[in-house]
């Protein structure tokens, strides 16, 4: 289905219905879901580290081919991979 259909469907649901759905779905979560317990993502006293890694042409081509085969943008693969990285310490 096109994304526009999702947006059109979501627009037909009231704010109260959206809130009720997510309260029912997440209402029993009683601990932080912040990665590594970091709540202040704006910096504060935390040191922000950045890492940049260039990908080989071969790996880049494989990533693009995989995304194309799955019918998704490459960003979806990177977001999924990052989700695994963030989830790893949680078990």
* Burial call 44-74: b when 16+ CB within 10 Å, e when fewer: eeeeeeeeeeeeeeeeeeeeeeebeeeeeee
pLDDT band at 40 (very low <50, low <70, confident <90, very high): confident
Domain extent listing, the chain: 3-90
Q: What is the pLDDT of residues 43-86, one digit of tens each?
A: 666 677 788 999 999 999 999 999 999 999 999 999 999 999 88
Taken in order 58, 62, 64, 68, the sign of the CA dihedral is: positive
pTM above 0.75, yes or no: no
Q: Please tell me the distance from the alpha carbon of residue 57 to that of residue 40, in angstroms, as a whole number.
A: 37
Q: What is the pLDDT of residues 9-37, one digit of tens each?
A: 888 889 999 999 999 999 998 888 887 77
- pLDDT for residue 46: 62
């Amino acid at each position: 289905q096109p994304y526009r259909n999702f947006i059109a469907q979501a627009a037909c649901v009231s704010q109260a219905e959206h809130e009720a759905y997510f309260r029912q779905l997440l209402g029993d979560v009683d601990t932080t879901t912040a990665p590594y317990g970091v709540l202040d993502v704006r910096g504060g006293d935390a040191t922000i580290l950045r890492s940049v890694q260039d990908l080989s042409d071969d790996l880049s081509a494989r990533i693009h081919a995989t995304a194309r085969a799955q019918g998704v943008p490459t960003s979806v693969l990177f977001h999924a991979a990052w989700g695994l990285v963030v989830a790893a310490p949680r078990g």
